[in-house]
Amino acid sequence: MKYEDYPAAAAPPGGSNPCDKCALRRLEAFLPCSPEELKTIQSFRVGARRVAAGGSIIEEHRRSPQLFTIYSGWAFRYKTLSDGRRQILSFLLAGDFLGLQDEFADGHTHGVAAVSDVTLCAFSRDRLWELFHAQPKLGYDITWLAAREEKMVDDNLVTTGRRNASERVAMLLMHLFRRAQRVGMERDGWVEFPFNQQHIADALGLSLVHTNKTLRRLQRLGLYKIDAGWLRIMEPHALEALGDYFERPIRPTPLI
Amino acid sequence: MKYEDYPAAAAPPGGSNPCDKCALRRLEAFLPCSPEELKTIQSFRVGARRVAAGGSIIEEHRRSPQLFTIYSGWAFRYKTLSDGRRQILSFLLAGDFLGLQDEFADGHTHGVAAVSDVTLCAFSRDRLWELFHAQPKLGYDITWLAAREEKMVDDNLVTTGRRNASERVAMLLMHLFRRAQRVGMERDGWVEFPFNQQHIADALGLSLVHTNKTLRRLQRLGLYKIDAGWLRIMEPHALEALGDYFERPIRPTPLI
DNA sequence: CGGAAATTTGAGATCACTCAATTGCGGTGG
DNA sequence: CCACCGCAATTGAGTGATCTCAAATTTCCG
């Protein structure tokens, strides 16, 4: 695995001292961070990266030399079986930290791909241990993020294992909407929604055709609207009840 | 949440200085640990707990005041929907660390129940942060364990989302066998297998009846045997190929 | 030995899948 | 400006895997 295999780091978003000025840190969704921690994060950071919609962020069977925090855009983690069946494990958006699993498993974890154009902050994997050592608090925070991500996968597992098609779709729409809302992506009740039906099918463990039919049914019931890549939830309570999924207000989380 | 709600800690397995003498630490599956780390772990430890087969280790909607490492026996993490449908998220056995998710989510994560009789080492949740602070290496190890657990849930999600019934069963049998083998539970090719078909169905997202029929089919093909609560894999290659699941030798992991 | 729980089997219903064709839409070249 | 292309979305039809219901049968346990 060589660094050169990766595109050169682009200019980090936000100028020369980006972590200070990072727009994400102004959101209520994220916990404040001491100047000292910020400095450590900054030194851990090696640059930014931009991946076009549809592009690959981490190859499925390769170990990325970097860890990332998503700055903007939607991505997803996935695994494929040898005959091509694909399962999306979870979706990622601003503030999500990725690449950690690779640290502890010898490759063969999961791939990450961009749905929309994605901007990422890149961190040096080599210095991860150093980070834990220098600032135990940041280590604790990373554990926090890992636990939070696992909780999301747990939820998805319940969905594919025990919910029927309508319930799955209802739950996913609410889940994605709420998460986007949380990081300030809502505009007049609409949220950017760059997913196609194949993404949804692969996330829910359904076929493309059945996903389409289910999506249409809920749309005809007036529960949600999708227009030109934007999503609006018309009947949040109905969708939550249908999916038996009640997202409680999420506590602020750390931002690395 | 009061401590009194929990049964009093029983005598820790292994005597008065158990972490030193812990039988698990002699296994190749676990990384060695410096005397200093061991001392910190020891001080973090508040006792042991024993839960009878079928008993509850962590209630689904309550925050456990303790974290645990499994010392012996099989357990599982699960979630239930409001109408009672249950999904098993993952199985736990010796060396697995549990209760971490609760640290970062306000309850409402998952329940943990014992399949066989289970013995656990209990740790004080209050002192978790202190542990990260005092021994960053142990914090790093806990993150490692969290990432490893997430990887298992990822695998299960692929299973319920994209594998058919036979593939699911094949993959689960191999998975459980290999994990038990890894921590020294194999005896003459057999491994203790205290699960009933409802457990398997709930883990795989199948109905009980269909699980039974699938299990029988694979058994009639001579791929495995179950006898008096013990499992033997007769055709590992066939099961691995069927499940498209090839467990690679797992690296030694930390043991907290 | 008796009773409860777990397993097994059969039968019919249903949800989700596959195959196949059509429609809608944005982009592109003439 | 329009015909044409490719991809995503949509719809229909028939199939099949899995589910539910129901009833044995076996195993476990007191």
Q: Mind listing the pLDDT tens digit for each residue in A33-85?
A: 999 999 999 999 999 999 999 999 999 999 999 999 999 999 999 999 999 99
Q: Which whole-number Å values give the CA distances from A99 to A102, B40, B142, B188, in the listed order? A: 6, 29, 16, 39
Q: Does residue B5 sit at the A interface (CB-CB below 8 Å)?
A: no
Q: Does domain A162-243 have CATH number 1.20.1740.10?
A: no
The partner residue sitting opposite A153, judged by closest CB among B82, B157, B163, is: B157
**What was the pLDDT predicted at B106?**
79
Half-sphere exposure of B145 (CA within 13 A, CB side): 24
Q: How far does the CA of A253 sit from the C1' of C12, in Å? A: 51
* Residue B119, beta-bridge partner list: B50, B72
Q: How far does the CA of A229 sit from the C1' of D6, in Å? A: 19
Q: Which residue of A has its CA nearest to B168?
A: A161
Structure tokens at B10: 């029983």
The partner residue sitting opposite A147, judged by closest CB among B103, B140, B155, is: B103
All residues of chain A having their beta carbon less than 8 Å from the beta carbon of residue B150 are 101, 146, 149-150, 153
pTM: 0.94
Q: How far does the CA of B209 sit from the C1' of C7, in Å? A: 9
Question: Are B179 and B231 spatial neighbours (Cβ–Cβ below 8 Å)?
Answer: no
Residues 6+ apart with CB under 8 A from A51: A57, A73, A75, A114, A117, A118, A120
Is strand C in 7 Å reach of the CB of A200? no
Residues 6+ apart with CB under 8 A from A12: A18, A45, A47, A48, A121
Boundaries of every domain in chain A:
3-158, 162-243
| CB-based contact A154 B105, cutoff 8 Å | no
Is strand D in 7 Å reach of the CB of A201? no
* CA separation for the pair B116, B93 (Å, rounded): 10
* Residue A138, beta-bridge partner list: none
Please state the separation of Cα A81 from the chain's center in Å.
22
| CB-based contact B149 A154, cutoff 8 Å | no
Q: Does residue B140 sit at the A interface (CB-CB below 8 Å)?
A: yes
* CA separation for the pair B87, B142 (Å, rounded): 25
**What was the pLDDT predicted at B20?**
82
**What was the pLDDT predicted at A97?**
98
All residues of chain B having their beta carbon less than 8 Å from the beta carbon of residue A137 are 132-133
Q: Which residue of A has its CA nearest to B106?
A: A251
The partner residue sitting opposite B160, judged by closest CB among A109, A132, A205, is: A205
- Range list of H helices, chain A: 18-21, 35-44, 100-104, 128-134, 136-162, 165-182, 197-204, 208-220, 236-243
Counting as low any pLDDT under 70, the low residues of chain A are: 1-18
Round the CA-based radius of gyration of chain B to a whole number and report it: 18
* CA separation for the pair A142, A131 (Å, rounded): 10
Q: Does residue B84 sit at the A interface (CB-CB below 8 Å)?
A: no
Question: Are A92 and A76 spatial neighbours (Cβ–Cβ below 8 Å)?
Answer: yes
**What was the pLDDT predicted at A44?**
93
Q: Which residue of B has its CA nearest to A207?
A: B162
Three-state SS for A36?
A: helix
**What was the pLDDT predicted at B186?**
95
| CB-based contact A108 B143, cutoff 8 Å | no
**What was the pLDDT predicted at B3?**
33
Q: How far does the CA of B64 sit from the C1' of C15, in Å? A: 39
* Residue A75, beta-bridge partner list: A92, A114
Q: What is the pLDDT along chain B (256 residues), one digit of tens a residue?
A: 333 333 333 444 444 556 888 999 999 999 999 999 999 999 999 999 999 999 999 999 999 999 999 999 999 999 999 999 999 999 999 999 999 999 998 778 999 999 999 999 999 999 999 999 999 999 999 999 999 999 999 999 999 999 999 999 999 999 999 999 999 999 999 999 999 999 999 999 999 999 999 999 999 999 999 999 999 999 999 999 999 999 888 899 999 9
Structure tokens at A43: 């030194």
| CB-based contact A132 B151, cutoff 8 Å | no
Homologous superfamily assigned to B3-158:
Jelly Rolls (2.60.120.10)
Q: Does residue A67 sit at the B interface (CB-CB below 8 Å)?
A: no
Closest CA to A114 of A97, A132, A93: A93
**What was the pLDDT predicted at A15?**
47
Q: Does residue A40 sit at the B interface (CB-CB below 8 Å)?
A: no
Q: How many CB pairs under 8 A join A and B?
A: 148
Closest Cα in chain B, distance from residue A78 (Å): 9
* CA separation for the pair A38, B26 (Å, rounded): 41
Please state the separation of Cα A70 from the chain's center in Å.
7
**Size of chain A in residues:** 256
Residue of A77, A104, A198 best to disrupt the B interface, most CBs of B under 10 A:
A104
* CA separation for the pair A124, A143 (Å, rounded): 17
Chain D positions within 7 A of any protein Cβ atom are 8-13, 17-22, 28
**What was the pLDDT predicted at A99?**
95
The DSSP secondary structure of B100-164, one letter per residue, reads: HHHHHS-S-S-EEEESS-EEEEEEEGGGHHHHHHH-HHHHHHHHHHHHHHHHHHHHHHHHHHH--
DSSP state of A253: B
Question: Are A64 and A99 spatial neighbours (Cβ–Cβ below 8 Å)?
Answer: yes
